[in-house]
Amino acid sequence: MTQRVTAGLQRLDDEPQPRAGATVTIDCTPLPLRARAQYFQTGIDAVLALRPKIAPEALSPRAKTNNYQNMTLAQREVEANHPGAWALMRDAEGNLAEGAGCNFFAVRDGVVHTPSDRYVLGGVSRAVVLEICTALNIPVQVGTVSGALAFAADEAFFTSTSLCLCPLRSLGGHVFSQDRPVTRRIAEAFKRDVGFDYEAQYMAFASKVAGETGL
């Protein structure tokens, strides 16, 4: 379910509008459980997009406006050359930012790294993971995540409201560890905290249908 709230109708040349107040729309779309189930078995293949994130000076990433054009174009670019892969976007400085509607985490030598919210929307699932890391005494660094760090990482995963937490299999051809000890530990704590096994829900719909981002 997606909720959109605007400031309402805009006055044009001081002409009165037929109604006042906010405009609220609610869209109900089923989650692509069948298409995404495979990712919880194999992990997501991600590829760096050439198209960067919109600079925060132009549009604050902290405002969840449901304007996905930037991410959609990045995803289409990646999909054209790497069918089935998910786009991972860079920020204006060339460091890693976020995926197509999801936050990015890399694990290197037991330390969890994730970009700061200067260039990304700090999602709710991202916040849950940061809380879990603190509770489990897993070291976390929130700040700049370079491409070099990501390509040298042992593990990586995406978080989002629909995915919750899903591992990455690879990034631009670099294959991460399939053991994923830190990712698995965080994922299990995530399930306990929310009181629901989201992974089992996805796996109940597992099939050979090709995965997709939804963008």
CATH number of domain containing 151: 3.20.10.10
* Phi, psi angle pair for 35, to nearest 5°: -70, -30
Specify if 27 maps to a domain: no
With 60 as the cut, is the pLDDT of residue 209 above it? no
Q: What is the pLDDT of residue 30?
A: 84
Specify if 10 maps to a domain: no
Say if strands 86-90 and 174-175 run parallel, antiparallel, or are unpaired.
unpaired
Specify if 196 maps to a domain: yes
Q: What is the pLDDT of residue 17?
A: 76
Tokens, residue 58: 């132009």
Residue 87 near residue 46, CB atoms below 8 Å: yes
What percentage of the chain has pLDDT greater than the value 90? 69
With 70 as the cut, is the pLDDT of residue 211 above it? no
Considering only residues 63 and 99, tell me which one the structure prediction assigns the higher pLDDT. Answer: 99
CA separation, residue 129 to residues 178, 186, 204 (Å) = 20, 7, 24
Report the chain's mean pLDDT, rounded to a whole number: 90
Cα separation of 215 and 210, whole Å? 14
Specify if 110 maps to a domain: yes
To which residue do tokens 């779309």 refer?
29
Average pLDDT of 179-191?
97
Q: What is the pLDDT of residue 210?
A: 59
Among 64, 138, 132, CA closest to 101: 64
Specify if 20 maps to a domain: no
Helix (H) or strand (E) holding 126: helix 124-135
Question: 133 lies in which domain range?
Answer: 34-203
Specify if 58 maps to a domain: yes
With 80 as the cut, is the pLDDT of residue 67 above it? no
Other Cβ atoms less than 10 A from the Cβ of 178: the count is: 10
Cα separation of 176 and 146, whole Å? 16
Query: In the structure, what pLDDT confidence band is assigned to residue 168 with cuts at 50, 70 and 90?
Result: very high
| Number of structural domains in the chain | 1
Specify if 5 maps to a domain: no
Tokens, residue 10: 């805009």
Average pLDDT of 187-196?
96
Specify if 42 maps to a domain: yes
Average pLDDT of 50-63?
85
